[in-house]
C-alpha cells in the first residue's frame, strides 16, 4: 500500500507526535512510508542495511502501547538511521570496510541505547567513508553516496549516508560521527541541520574510533528543535566512557533565543586565498544581519590559522594508525 498521500508533513517531531495522538496505527503507517521512500531512492546508496521487518514490528508494538494509554517516550515512534560506525546489538557494523564485512556487534552504543529507551525506531544503517575517513563519501566498500539535490555533486563525508537519509526524507533524524567535520560538512552540502556537540557531551561508547581525542557522535535533522530533542536524550554521563561530561543537560533551546551573543569572525579565514569569494561574501552578509539584530560581531585576528589543518592531520593520523593496528 502506498501511504504517502495519507501522511501529513512531518515538519518536526512535535508535529509528528500530534499526528500520533489521533492516529492509532500512526507508527506503522510512518515506517511503511519511510521504507517505501528508501526503496524509491535506493539509487542514492544512503543505506548499507535496512531493518525492514524489525522496524515494522517495533512500530506495531509502539502503536499498541499508545492504544493502552501508556506514557510514551521523548522519541516515541521517531524514525532514526545510524551511521555504519555506531554499534547496534545483533546488527552488522562494518565502518564501510571489507575488513569488518559481516561483523555483528555484541552490544549497542550508549547513544543507541538511550534512543531506544525513549522509544525511537531504528530503520537502518547508513553508508559512510571507510572508517569515517573522508569528506566526499566516495571511499566506501559499498560504493559512493549521491547527493539527492544532484547526482553530479558529492554529499560530503564521512557521514554522507546519514546526511542524505535526512535530506531525501528517508528518516526523520540520523546519527553520524564528526572528527574533523564529518557531520558539519555533509550537513552543509545537503542543506540540513548538522550538529557536532561539544567533545564529551555524548558518550563515544560503541562508536568505532577514527581518532579518539577528536571523535564525537553528531546529529542530522531537518530543524533545530529536532536536533535539540535528540541531544537531550543522548547526552550525559556514561560509566563506559571516561571522557564524557558528567552533567546531564535535560533541556536545550528549540528555537531563536532572546539573548544577545558576542560573535567572533576569524578575519584570517575570511581573507584566506583558498576561500571561495561567494562564501566569504555570504558570511560577511550574515554577520551584517546579526549586527542588525543586536549581536556584537567582530572580525578578529587568528594568526595560527595555517597551522590548524597540519596539526589536525598529525594528531588524527597518529591516533588512527594506533587504532587501526588492532584490526591487523
Residue 36 contacts residue 4 (beta carbons within 8 Å)? yes
**Measured distance CA(135)–CA(155) in Å, rounded:** 9
**Measured distance CA(129)–CA(97) in Å, rounded:** 9
Name the 3-class secondary structure at 183: coil
- The grid cell for 205 is 561508547
Residue 99 contacts residue 144 (beta carbons within 8 Å)? no
Q: Where are the beta strands (DSSP E) in the chain?
A: 47-50, 79-83, 121-126, 173-178, 193-195, 216-221, 263-266, 297-300
Catalytic entry in 12, 28, 83, 196: 83
CA 115 to chain centroid, in Å, comes to 13
Q: What is the DSSP letter of 200?
A: T
Q: Can you state the percent helix, strand and coil of the chain, rounding each to 5?
A: 40, 15, 45
Q: Is the dihedral of CA 12, 14, 19, 23 positive or negative?
A: positive
CA distances from 69 to 13, 57, 66, 235, 288 (A): 20, 19, 5, 28, 51
105 is catalytic: no
Catalytic entry in 28, 105, 162, 182: 182
Name the 3-class secondary structure at 114: helix
- The grid cell for 306 is 595555517
Catalytic entry in 28, 125, 140, 158: 158
**Measured distance CA(86)–CA(211) in Å, rounded:** 14
254 is catalytic: no
Residue 152 contacts residue 142 (beta carbons within 8 Å)? no
Q: Is the dihedral of CA 96, 97, 98, 104 positive or negative?
A: negative
196 is catalytic: no
Residue among 176, 146, 144, 143 nearest 159 (CA) = 176
Active site residues: 83, 158, 182
Amino acid at each position: 500500500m502506498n501511504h504517502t498521500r495519507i501522511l501529513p508533513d512531518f515538519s518536526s517531531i512535535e508535529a509528528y507526535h500530534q499526528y500520533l495522538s489521533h492516529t492509532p496505527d500512526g507508527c506503522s503507517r510512518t515506517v511503511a512510508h519511510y521504507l517505501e521512500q528508501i526503496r524509491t531512492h535506493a539509487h542514492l546508496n544512503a543505506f548499507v542495511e535496512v531493518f525492514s521487518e524489525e522496524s515494522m514490528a517495533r512500530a506495531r508494538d509502539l502503536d499498541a502501547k499508545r492504544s493502552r494509554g501508556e506514557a510514551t517516550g521523548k522519541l516515541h515512534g521517531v524514525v532514526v538511521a545510524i551511521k555504519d560506525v555506531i554499534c547496534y546489538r545483533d546488527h552488522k557494523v562494518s565502518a564501510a570496510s571489507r575488513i569488518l564485512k559481516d561483523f555483528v556487534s555484541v552490544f549497542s552504543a550508549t547513544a543507541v541505547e538511550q534512543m531506544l529507551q525513549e522509544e525511537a525506531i531504528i530503520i537502518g544503517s547508513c553508508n559512510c567513508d571507510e572508517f569515517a575517513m573522508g569528506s566526499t563519501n566516495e571511499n566506501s566498500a559499498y560504493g559512493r553516496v549521491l547527493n539527492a539535490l544532484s547526482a553530479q555533486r558529492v554529499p560530503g563525508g564521512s557521514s554522507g549516508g546519514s546526511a542524505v537519509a535526512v535530506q531525501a526524507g528517508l528518516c526523520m533524524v540520523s546519527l553520524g560521527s564528526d572528527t574533523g567535520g564529518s557531520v558539519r560538512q555533509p550537513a552543509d552540502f545537503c542543506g540540513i541541520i548538522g550538529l557536532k556537540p561539544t567533545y564529551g557531551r555524548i558518550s563515544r561508547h560503541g562508536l568505532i574510533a577514527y581518532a579518539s581525542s577528536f571523535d564525537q557522535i553528531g546529529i542530522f535533522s531537518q530543524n533545530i528543535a529536532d536536533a535539540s530533542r535528540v541531544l537531550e536524550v543522548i547526552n550525559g554521563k556514561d560509566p563506559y566512557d571516561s571522557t564524557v561530561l558528567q552533567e546531564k543537560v535535560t533541556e536545550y533551546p528549540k528555537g531563536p533565543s532572546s539573548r544577545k551573543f558576542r560573535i567572533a569572525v576569524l578575519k584570517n579565514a575570511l581573507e584566506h586565498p583558498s576561500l571561495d569569494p561567494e562564501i566569504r561574501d555570504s558570511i560577511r552578509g550574515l554577520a551584517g544581519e546579526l549586527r542588525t539584530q543586536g549581536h556584537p560581531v567582530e572580525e578578529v585576528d587568528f594568526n595560527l590559522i595555517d597551522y590548524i589543518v597540519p596539526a589536525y592531520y598529525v594528531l588524527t593520523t597518529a591516533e588512527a594508525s594506533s587504532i587501526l593496528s588492532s584490526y591487523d
